[in-house]
Structure 1
Amino acid sequence: MNAAAQFVSVSQRFGDFTAVDDIDLSIPAGKLTTLLGPSGCGKTTSLRMLAGYTRPTAGRILIDGVDATTTPPEKRGLGMVFQSYALFPHMTVAENVGYGLKLRGTSKDERRTRVMESLELVGLAHLASRKPRALSGGQQQRVALARAIAIRPKLLLLDEPLSNLDARLRVQMRTEIRRIQHETGLTVVLVTHDQDEALEMSDEMVLMREGRIMQQGAPADVFGAPADRFVADFLGYENFVRTASGLVTVRPEHLVVETGSSERQHALALPGTVTDVAYRGVDLLITIAAHDESGPITLLSDMRADGAPRVAVGDAVTAGAARAHIVELSE
């Protein structure tokens, strides 16, 4: 697979603090790659180094196979959408979208054509003459996206672009960004702390912690086989059990709660006591106090309400999981 960009032994240090720690990363061309992780993990610093706003302390950054480590941002041919959108309030939507083209000396006719093409792509051609203040948050986000696309960038970089939107708009814009990426074939790098966003949007997912890459791959591969406890915990596995052979994890929706004797043979079966029951309409969240090889643990089961047993706080139960749903973790 061709790489649109590469990090080669890249580090970034600010005094005694190491923000990015000797990473090697290949970003596939024509795909949407997410840099995912908690605050302070190095994902935004990595994006800023790729954009050229921050120079690596060590290592090289290649764009289309060419060393761009010292190339200034305006000469990298990249488009970027910030968390704040950074639209010019005194300009119309069309003027905002055409700003980067004007800086590049694009002719007025060519600029007009590409501005309208970009606005049509994000569904805002009818608002070309409006000012940003007359737009909703979601519309402003689309304008920022159109401005970045208009310059026909080698890579489109998105820094937490959906974090300022409400939940409904975030879900809608995930779909829109995926549609635009598919229609244009752009290489997109998206920074996010939201695992649902990364799982839904990514072709390639890069999970970071404390400046290092913990796991990289297709979302289904990473989600189905987390490399260690940190990755599993970040992706919502929640149940961690120490067995005689090592540490395993089970997602709440795969942990079955039963009362009395069961005819089902579970690869993992732990007796315990119900400590909380939360009814959520479609599903039932059952919290259980149990013990594993290391001592007391807390388990969480998320079962369909119409198939869950009737249990109450204090009931003795068994929490079980099929072998197919048990993930072994490296220590």
Structure 2
Amino acid sequence: MTSAAEFTGVTQSYGDTVAVENLNLEIEEGKLTTLLGPSGCGKTTTLRMLAGYITPSAGTITINGADATRLPPEKRNLGMVFQSYALFPHLTVADNVGFGLKLRKVPTDKRRELVMANLDLVGLAHLADRKPKALSGGQQQRVALARAIAISPSLLLLDEPLSNLDARLRVQMRSEIRRIQGETGLTVVLVTHDQEEALEMSDTMVVMRAGKVMQTGAPATVFTAPANRFVADFLGYENFLSQSDGSLLTVRPEHLRVSAAGLEPSTAGLTVSAVVRESVYRGVDHIVTMTAADATGTPITLVSTTRRDTLTADAGFLPGDLVVAQARDHEIVRLSADN
């Protein structure tokens, strides 16, 4: 793996508050890396340290193999897109995209060529003479991307870039950013709290909590084999069952099948007797919430989500019904005792 950037023992503290603690992380060149986690986990602080807006309290940051720990932002050759887009309202789309090039004293003809090439890349060449206020949110986001890419940055940093868009535009922009990254070969670091966004867009996911990295890996690896309960919970695993040996089992709601007591099919893996607490129809699926006890006798809540087209005839459960919840062995994730 060729590293575009690397954090070695990086810590960032504010008085007694530790925002990032002993971070060791490599950003692979030409890939899209996502920093994922809840608010306050340290992901934005990590991005801003990489951008040069924050100097670490300890540790080293290298960019393209050179020490950049105390290098000012303008010396790092990084492109950045903020949550608010940060476009200049008095400038045209073309002038916004060309702003960084002008600062770098790129000749006018060459600057115009690069501006139009990057606007064409994001599909907005026809709006070059418009002002930002005349654009939709998605179009403004594309202009911000074009501006960041125009300077040919070593890395493109995206700080929650889709959070201000509606759901439909968010999905559309995920594909756009992935396409642009693929066509340009840029190294991209994306900060998000949205697990679907991270799973869809990432080459590498970095899940963070309280300033520490909980797990790093390809989306499919992290999703199917979460390292601990925090990662599993954050990625949508809702059923957690303690075992007598101190370990923990977890099963995703869509993998937990529910049958009336006495009618359950024979399956290897997990079998738990439960009582239905709530049964909710949602059109495409059916959610059954149950009360049960794990192997230690601790009361737990189980949730099963079943698609309507796979429901059995006995699936019209009512509160108070006795049922059996089951999962096959390969659908069960086993978490170690210290997680």
Assess same fold via TM > 0.5.
yes
CA–CA distance in 1 between the matches of 2:198 and 2:206?
Answer: 9
Q: CA RMSD in A?
A: 0.8
CA–CA distance in 2 between the matches of 1:192 and 1:166?
Answer: 15
Q: Which residue is 1:60 aligned to?
A: 60
Q: Which residue is 2:242 aligned to?
A: 242
| Alpha-carbon spacing, 1:294–1:59, altered in 2? closer, same or farther (3 Å) | farther
Q: In structure 2, which of residues 311, 319, 326 is the aligned counterpart of residue 313 of structure 1?
A: 319
State the shift of 1:79 in Å: 0.1
One-letter amino acid of the structure 1 residue matched with residue 140 of structure 2:
Q
Give % identity.
66
Q: Which residue is 2:137 aligned to?
A: 137
One-letter amino acid of the structure 2 residue matched with residue 60 of structure 1:
T
For residues 111-155 of structure 1, the C-alpha deviation after alignment (integer angstroms, 9 at most, x for no partner) is: 001100110000000000000000000100000000000000000
State the shift of 1:312 in Å: 1.1
One-letter amino acid of the structure 1 residue matched with residue 161 of structure 2:
P
Q: Which residue is 1:180 aligned to?
A: 180
Q: Which residue is 1:21 aligned to?
A: 21
For residues 304-328 of structure 1, the C-alpha deviation after alignment (integer angstroms, 9 at most, x for no partner) is: 1232222111110000000000000
CA–CA distance in 1 between the matches of 2:87 and 2:193?
Answer: 24
State the shift of 1:278 in Å: 1.0
Q: Which residue is 1:156 aligned to?
A: 156
Task: Check if 1:107 corresponds to 2:113.
Answer: no
Task: Check if 1:296 corresponds to 2:296.
Answer: no
Task: Check if 1:328 corresponds to 2:329.
Answer: no
Unaligned runs of 5+ in 2: none
* TM-score, normalisation: structure 1: 0.99
State the shift of 1:68 in Å: 0.5
One-letter amino acid of the structure 1 residue matched with residue 256 of structure 2:
L
For residues 69-93 of structure 1, the C-alpha deviation after alignment (integer angstroms, 9 at most, x for no partner) is: 1111011010000000000000000
CA–CA distance in 1 between the matches of 2:166 and 2:284?
Answer: 23
Q: Which residue is 1:95 aligned to?
A: 95
State the shift of 1:243 in Å: 1.9
State the shift of 1:105 in Å: 0.8
Aligned pairs, number: 331
CA–CA distance in 1 between the matches of 2:88 and 2:66?
Answer: 33
CA–CA distance in 2 between the matches of 1:24 and 1:68?
Answer: 15
For residues 35-66 of structure 1, the C-alpha deviation after alignment (integer angstroms, 9 at most, x for no partner) is: 00000000000000000000000001000010
Unaligned runs of 5+ in 1: none
CA–CA distance in 1 between the matches of 2:171 and 2:27?
Answer: 24
One-letter amino acid of the structure 1 residue matched with residue 330 of structure 2:
A
SS of the residue aligned with 1:163?
coil
* TM-score, normalisation: structure 2: 0.96
| Alpha-carbon spacing, 1:108–1:294, altered in 2? closer, same or farther (3 Å) | farther
SS of the residue aligned with 2:21?
strand
Q: Which residue is 1:268 aligned to?
A: 270
SS of the residue aligned with 2:309?
coil
CA–CA distance in 2 between the matches of 1:97 and 1:306?
Answer: 49
For residues 283-319 of structure 1, the C-alpha deviation after alignment (integer angstroms, 9 at most, x for no partner) is: 1010000011241100000011232222111110000
CA–CA distance in 1 between the matches of 2:208 and 2:150?
Answer: 31
For residues 218-250 of structure 1, the C-alpha deviation after alignment (integer angstroms, 9 at most, x for no partner) is: 000011100100000000001001122321100
CA–CA distance in 1 between the matches of 2:326 and 2:184?
Answer: 46
One-letter amino acid of the structure 2 residue matched with residue 291 of structure 1:
A
CA–CA distance in 1 between the matches of 2:193 and 2:155?
Answer: 20
One-letter amino acid of the structure 2 residue matched with residue 14 of structure 1:
Y
